[in-house]
Structure 1
């Protein structure tokens, strides 16, 4: 587990994502969002776009009709703040041309 007082590296987040993908797809979706943010903040646009796309693909597998269904379960992942609600509209609004 990463120390929440510092930003996790993209490598650390990718390891977390792989573990979560096998055990908790919603957590993996949140981590994919965090990876998209970290790569964007580092100026790695191609990697950010890949993680945006991964996040959107994962979101397709979840219902999204109510706030409860799209509410994030954590406030942050690896030091990256998550939105209160995570759905395609939020991802597209936050990443614009990258989505």
Structure 2
């Protein structure tokens, strides 16, 4: 588990993502979004783009007709704030040219 007083590193988030991918795909969506943000903030545009694409691929497996279906289950992941609602429109809006 990461120390709650500091943001998780990209490497820590990637490890969390791999565990979640096997156990909780919605959590993996949230973590892939956090990874896209973390890499963007670090100026690593290619890695950010890869995580945006991963997030969008995972989101395709979930329904998105209601707010309840797209509501984030956490407020942040590894120190990265999550949007209240997480769906492809939000991801594309937040990452613009990276999508």
Is 2:31 the counterpart of 1:31? yes
Residue 55 of structure 1 and its aligned partner are, at CA, apart by 0.1
Q: Secondary structure at the match of 1:85?
A: coil
What is the distance in 2 between the residues matched to 1:15 and 1:66? 30
What is the distance in 2 between the residues matched to 1:51 and 1:4? 23
What is the distance in 2 between the residues matched to 1:5 and 1:27? 21
Instruction: Tell me what 1:14 maps to.
Output: 14
Q: Which runs of 5+ in 1 are unaligned?
A: none
Runs of 4+ with deviation above 2 angstroms: none
Instruction: Tell me what 2:53 maps to.
Output: 53
What is the distance in 1 between the residues matched to 2:77 and 2:69? 19
Q: Which runs of 5+ in 2 are unaligned?
A: none
Q: Give me the TM-score of the superposition, normalised by structure 2.
A: 0.98
Give the number of equivalent residue pairs. Answer: 99
What is the distance in 2 between the residues matched to 1:87 and 1:4? 26
Task: Give per-residue Cα distances to partners, 1:9-63, cap 9 Å, x unaligned.
Answer: 0000000000000000000000000000000000000000000000000000000
What is the distance in 2 between the residues matched to 1:61 and 1:36? 19
